[in-house]
């Protein structure tokens, strides 16, 4: 039986694009933590509804992002309408 893909996001279907969905999937056989997996690029903090690029420096450093690196859509709670 094939195990369903795990994701960092509670509702991956609501994400802006397939590339963002794929980036937040946890499919690594060697690492359960995206900060330990060198193939993980994006982290999601559900409590803050924030997306970030993972800095693979051995710690848990991130660079917050407001727009999808693949399609350019606004991420998280902030939208263009809220900023006006």
Residue 44 forms part of a structural domain: yes
pLDDT at res. 81: 45
Would you tell me how many other CB atoms lie within 10 Å of the CB of residue 11? 7
Q: What does the pLDDT read at residue 69?
A: 96
The whole domain housing 35 covers 6-83
**Total structural domains in the chain?**
1
Q: Is residue 42 part of a domain?
A: yes
Q: 40 with 49: CB under 8 angstroms? A: no
The answer to whether the beta carbons of residues 81 and 63 sit under 8 Å apart is no
Q: What is the pLDDT of residue 72?
A: 97
Contact 54, 62 (CB under 8 A): yes
Residue 1 falls inside a structural domain: no
Mean pLDDT for back-to-back runs of 10 residues, the chain (84 residues)? 69 93 89 91 92 93 96 75 44
Q: Which of 70, 71, 67, 69 is nearest to 79 (CA)?
A: 67
């Amino acid at each position: 039986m094939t195990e369903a893909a795990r994701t960092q996001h509670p509702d991956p279907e609501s994400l802006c694009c397939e590339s963002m969905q794929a980036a937040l999937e946890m499919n690594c056989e060697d690492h359960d933590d995206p900060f330990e997996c060198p193939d993980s690029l994006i982290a999601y903090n559900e409590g803050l509804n924030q997306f970030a690029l993972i800095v693979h420096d051995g710690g848990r450093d991130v660079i917050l992002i407001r727009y999808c690196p693949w399609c350019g859509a606004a991420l998280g709670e902030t939208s263009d309408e809220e900023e006006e």
